[in-house]
Amino acid sequence: MAAYLRRSNPQTFVRPRAGETKIGQAMACLREGDDLTATLQQHHRDGSRIAIVGVPESIGPQANCGKGGAEGGWDAFLNVFLNLQATPALPIHDLLLVGHIDCDDLMAKVGELDEFDAQTLPQLRELCAQVDQRVLQVLYPLFESGYEVILIGGGHNNAYPLLKSLYETSEQRCASVNLDPHADFRPREGRHSGNGFSYAYMEGALAHYHVMSLHEGKNSATSLKQLSEAGFSYHSIHRLYDMQFVDALDEVSAMVDGWAAPLGLEVDVDAIMQAPASALNYTGVSMPQAYRYVSKLAAYSDTRYLHLAEAAPARHPAGEAAGHMACGQLLSELTLAYLFGREKRP
């Protein structure tokens, strides 16, 4: 089971210091060789409730005619998050570090493709479909065992296996709120990062969907038409500029209250101004606004996952080293936003 899951050794990333305990030294983690289902159930009995998983790939964005780099987000996160102090002030007691989904062989195939060959785009989309299957294989036992999931790294294509696995394990159609300039509701033309939600909708997994900070100039007319015909909605970034962000969140909260469905919480990092992402964006929401978005919606008991997509250290204007630091801090803060938000659940 989950043949493509690779366990993460926190000690690879932790920088020990005498007299201190880092998160990577305190949190539970899966070990190589353990039976996945049995170990997940044991950790759940021991109190673990949130599974952290990485997907180091950029196949989805490239299959969407975009750029690579999102494969670096997972390691950037681990380097920062695992070195934060493990203190009673941080709600980390129920975390389980599961590991990452191995996409190295698929990424190597991408590297062999000729960008000028007409067959390259269909091949990228077939590789993205293979990523889907690997992610699904890991997510099914997590949701079945009762875990919430924090999925980090890779393209926004991974929204599709998240919603599909949550739908099939919960046997309920799902809801999702997505902080993103793009609706990712492009036609089903082969899998890529721009059509995860349209695939989930057409396959019956997605019943309710709202996009925060959508830029109407960055979505095709076809995509917006399909979104409207499905009965889904959005706050445009231009509307957000003209109102208080907390008021917009209150409007979204009113929607979520009425949905009463398993909720997926989505963040495309390129929604955040100047964040190193697959599509670097100089307009959008601020980091404090993104934090507030995550923490508020994580407070709902129906929320089952947080997806942090498209962080790309290599896209930082100052270079990859600066990108690793920026992505690691940003992803860590949004993860903490989710953890603090959960503490406010009834």
Task: Give the pLDDT confidence of 194-205 residue by residue, as tens digits.
Answer: 999 999 999 999
Instruction: Say what the pLDDT of residue 32 is.
Output: 81
Instruction: Say what the pLDDT of residue 135 is.
Output: 98
Whether the CB-CB separation of 145 and 44 falls below 8 Å is answered with yes
Q: pLDDT class for 3, splitting at 50, 70, 90?
A: confident
Q: pLDDT class for 14, splitting at 50, 70, 90?
A: very high
Q: Please state the pTM of the whole predicted model.
A: 0.97
> Which of 346, 21, 306, 64 is CA-nearest to residue 185?
64
Instruction: Say what the pLDDT of residue 115 is.
Output: 82
Task: Give the pLDDT confidence of 48-69 residue by residue, as tens digits.
Answer: 999 999 999 999 999 999 999 9
Tell me the two tokens of residue 297: 């919606």
For the chain, the maximum distance between any two Cα atoms, rounded to a whole number of angstroms, is 59
Instruction: Say what the pLDDT of residue 4 is.
Output: 93
Alpha-helical (H) ranges within the chain are: 23-26, 36-45, 59-63, 73-81, 104-111, 120-144, 159-170, 196-202, 221-229, 237-241, 245-259, 287-298, 320-342
pLDDT at 222 over 70: yes
Over range 10-27, report the average pLDDT.
96
Mean pLDDT, rounded, of the chain: 96
Distance CA 105, CA 156 (A): 20
Whether the CB-CB separation of 266 and 258 falls below 8 Å is answered with no
Instruction: Say what the pLDDT of residue 158 is.
Output: 98
Instruction: Say what the pLDDT of residue 31 is.
Output: 86
Among 6-10, 106-110, 237-241, the range scoring the smallest mean pLDDT is 6-10
Q: pLDDT class for 36, splitting at 50, 70, 90?
A: confident
> Which of 143, 176, 168, 209 is CA-nearest to residue 307?
176
Q: Which amino acid is at 37?
A: T
Task: Give the pLDDT confidence of 297-324 residue by residue, as tens digits.
Answer: 999 999 999 999 999 999 999 999 999 9
pLDDT at 16 over 90: yes
Handedness of CA 253, 341, 179, 196 (dihedral sign): negative
Instruction: Say what the pLDDT of residue 116 is.
Output: 84
DSSP, res 284: S
- Give the angle subtended at the CA of 30 by the CAs of 25 and 35, to the nearest 5°: 160
pLDDT at 20 over 60: yes
pLDDT at 127 over 90: yes
CATH 2.30.130.10 describes domain 5-342: no
